[in-house]
Structure 1
Amino acid sequence: MMRPMVENIKVLYFANKSLEPYVQIITLMDSGKRCQSVCSSEEGNCSENEEIEDLLPVLRDPSQILNNLYITNLANHMPARTQGYPWNLVYSTAFHGTSLKTLYRRMAHIDCPVLLVIKDMENKVFGAFSSDPFKVSNYCYGTGETFLYSFYPEFKAYRWSGENSYIVRGHKDSLQIGGGGGYFGLWLDSDLYHGASYACHTFNNQPLSNKQDFTVQDLEVWTVQ
C-alpha cells in the first residue's frame, strides 16, 4: 500500500528595490488526495495532465487565448492574495468589440487586480497583471505587484524595477503600462487594434512581442479576485 505523500509547500518571494521582501507560504493539498479522483484503481497512478488541471484556477468564462500552460505560468507568478480565486472574464474583443472606451466602462465598478492577455496577429501571447483595474486617470496608478509578461520565445515575467512609478496610466485614447526612457512597456490605442511594446525602465523588460509595433488579434481582461 502506497503511503500518502506529504504536503507540498510553495514559498513565493516578492521584492523590489523600494519594498522590503516578504515571504508568503501556501500549503497545497496532499498529492495523494489530489490524485484520488483520477487514479486508476488497478495501477494507482494518475495522469500528469489531469493532476495539473486539478491545480489550475477555475475560469468561469471561455477564453479565446488562454490554455492550461498559459494559465499555470501566470497563476504561479501572481501575488499570493489572488491565489484560490476564480478568474472572471470582464472584457473580450471577441464578445464586446474593439473599444478602449468599452473596456473602461466594463471595469468602472471593479475594485480588484486584473489580468490583461493579448494575442497578436503573429500568434504571440503577452500582456500584464495590474494591481488595479484600468481606468482613465490624470496620474499613474498601480503598485509593485504589477508586472508585464510574455510567452515569446518562452515565458518571462518582468516585475517592477522600482526605478519609477510610471506603472499604469489610462487615457481616453490609449492605455499605457510602464514607461521611462521615452518608451512604454506596453501601449494600446483607442480601438485596441494597434499596440506597441518597448524596453522601459519601470519593468526593465524586453519588447513583449516579436515586433515592437504589433496588431491585436484577440484581447481579454480577467478579474482574479
Structure 2
Amino acid sequence: MQAQDSPVLMVIKDSDGQMFGALASEPFKVSDGFYGTGETFVFTFCPEFEVGNKLMNGDNMFFIKGDMDSLAFGGGGGEFGLWLDGDLYHGRTHSCKTFGNPMLSKTEDFYVQDIEIWAFE
C-alpha cells in the first residue's frame, strides 16, 4: 500500500454483523507519530450510516497511526476512534476528539469477521 500515494478505504464487518470503517487520506504506513489530513474520517452503519469528522473543532490532528502492533484512527482523551491489533483480528472503538464520532460498533471491543481495504488511484 505504501507505494501508492492515494487514499485508502477500510471496511470492517465485526462478529456481531456490524459494518464500519475509515477512509484514510494517505496510505497506511509504520509511523512513530500520527499522520494524515482532515480528509480522513471514520464511519459506521450502526444503527444507520454516520460519518465522524469534526476537523473544524480543532481539538487535535490525531488522524492515523500505525506500527507493527496496531493501526489506529483518531484520538484524544486516551481513546482511539478505531483501533485494530497487528493481526487485524481484535479491535476497539470509542468516541474520540479528532472525529467527534460515536462508538462505531455495538460494543467497545469487537472481533473482525471480514475486512476489505481498497486503495484509490
Normalised TM-score (structure 2): 0.95
1:198 pairs with 94, 99, 109, which one? Answer: 94
Residue 224 of structure 1: how far off its partner (Å): 2.4
Higher relative contact order by CA 8 Å / sep ≥ 6: 1 or 2? 2
Residue correspondence of structure 1 range 105-184 to structure 2 within 5 A: 107-161=1-55, 162-184=58-80
1:84 corresponding residue in structure 2: none
Contact 1:166/1:180, CA 8 A, preserved across alignment? yes
* 1-structure distance, mates of 2:29, 2:68: 9
The Cα of 1:158 is off from its aligned counterpart by: 0.7
Q: Partner of 1:216: helix, strand, or coil?
A: strand
The CA distance in 2 between the partners of 1:114 and 1:192, in whole Å, is: 16
Q: Which deviates more from structure 2 when the two are superposed, residues 193-202 or residues 158-167?
A: 158-167
Counterpart of 1:133 in structure 2: which amino acid?
P
CA distance in 2, matches of 1:121, 1:159: 25
Q: Letter of the aligned partner of 2:35 in structure 1?
A: Y
Shift of 1:137: 0.7
State the distance in 1 between where 2:84 and 2:17 align: 17
Within 5 Å, which residues of 2 pair with 1:8-157? 107-157=1-51
Q: CA deviation at 1:138?
A: 1.1
Instruction: Give the SS at the match of 2:79.
Output: coil
Cα distance, 1:176 vs. partner?
Answer: 0.8
Matched-pair contact (CA < 8 Å) for 1:141–1:168: yes
Aligned partner of 2:108 in structure 1 is 212
Say which one has the larger Rg: 1
Q: In 2, Cα distance between the equivalents of 1:160 and 1:109?
A: 29
Between Structure 1 and Structure 2, how many residues are aligned? 119
Flag as ranges the 4+ runs of structure 1 deviating above 2 A: none
Identity %: 54
Alpha-carbon distance between aligned partners in 1 of 2:119 and 2:68, rounded to the nearest angstrom: 21
1:189 to 2:77 alignment: no
- Partner Cα separation in structure 1 for residue 101 and residue 15 of structure 2: 21
RMSD: 0.9
Shift of 1:108: 2.5
Structure 1 stretches lacking a partner, 5+ long = 1-106
Deviation at 1:199, TM superposition (A): 0.6
Query: Which AA in structure 1 matches 2:3?
Result: H
1:50-76: CA deviation from partner (whole Å, max 9, x where unpaired): xxxxxxxxxxxxxxxxxxxxxxxxxxx
Equivalent-residue separation in structure 1 for 2:2 and 2:96 (angstroms): 28
Q: Write the letter of the residue equivalent to 2:11.
A: V
What's 1:9 paired with?
A: none
